[in-house]
Amino acid sequence: MSHTPIDCVLPKVFEPPKQADYIRLGKSGDGGYIIDRQSIAASEKLLSFGINYDWSFESDFLRQKSMPLAAFDHSIGKMAFLRKFLIHSTFDFSPPLAYRHLSALVRYGRFFSEKRVHLPLHVGYSSIDRMVDFSQALTLASCESTPFFLKVDTEEWEYGILEDLIKHAGLMQGLVIEFHRLDLHLNRVMDFIERFPLDLVYTHANNYGHVLSDGTPLLIECTFSAFGIDRMGPFTPLSIDMQNSRKLPPYALRFA
């Protein structure tokens, strides 16, 4: 079934002034991101804030270049997957959900080993249980002096670390970040883009997020690189880009 694209509009500051050597990593649809190949090559460590049940981006990234991974997410782990599998296979009988958690448990054990580390912590404020602040996360990941790439998908908690991203941008070779609830945080994101030292090289509207009556998408993904080059011509979506949901209408993003 085909859908008529929904027109989305963002202020001009969201239009990438630079371009890059693009590659899309992660599974088809939701969970994949467009980033810069050069930022992969220049990085010595991969950090991920928020992975949930999907580490396909991290897996593809490490196939491009082998390096240590530190993935922060307080909501998952072997015991969490096992507990949910037992609940949905016995007490709350639901074979599809039971299979999902069992599959995650098996994949988790295969992926997170040796240099690929999962830390059951959330990155936000150090004063909250099971949370660490950005500086503590860098220390735990041994990234105080190591060039790194960062992925941020933390369901609105990204707004608590924007100043830290600017402060620690010197070692960051690339960043892909999801911005949620732009209806509440549009000006904060615009200010961040203007102050962040890395170049904005790609903007994607996630069609799992709603669109306001004025055309503002509520969920976007932005890619930054330390190696952006001057754009040749206007920004246009890449052929390798994908809508996050095939079942929902696609978004056609423009800037004004």
Q: What is the pLDDT of residue 112?
A: 94
- Please identify which residue in the block is written with the tokens 């950090």: 47
Q: What is the pLDDT of residue 18?
A: 97
Q: What is the pLDDT of residue 61?
A: 98
Q: What is the pLDDT of residue 125?
A: 85
Q: Is residue 202 part of a domain?
A: yes
- Residues 6 or more apart in contact with residue 181 via CB below 8 angstroms: 156, 218, 219
pTM of the model: 0.93
Domain that includes residue 66, residue range: 6-76+120-255
Q: What is the pLDDT of residue 33?
A: 98
Q: What is the pLDDT of residue 1?
A: 56
Q: Is residue 229 part of a domain?
A: yes
CA distance 197 to 212: 30
CA distance 133 to 127: 8
As given in the structure block, the two tokens for residue 191 are 């200010």
Q: What is the pLDDT of residue 101?
A: 73
Q: Is residue 65 part of a domain?
A: yes
Q: Is residue 147 part of a domain?
A: yes
CATH number of the domain bearing residue 155: 3.40.50
Q: Is residue 23 part of a domain?
A: yes
Local mean pLDDT, 10-residue blocks, the chain (256 residues): 88 97 96 97 98 94 98 86 78 76 84 95 87 95 95 95 96 98 97 98 97 97 97 92 96 96
Q: What is the pLDDT of residue 87?
A: 81
Q: What is the pLDDT of residue 79?
A: 75
Q: What is the pLDDT of residue 26?
A: 97
Q: What is the pLDDT of residue 108?
A: 86
For the chain, how many structural domains are there in total? 1
Q: Is residue 101 part of a domain?
A: no
Q: Is residue 91 part of a domain?
A: no
Q: Is residue 108 part of a domain?
A: no
- Cα-to-chain-centroid distance, residue 20: 18
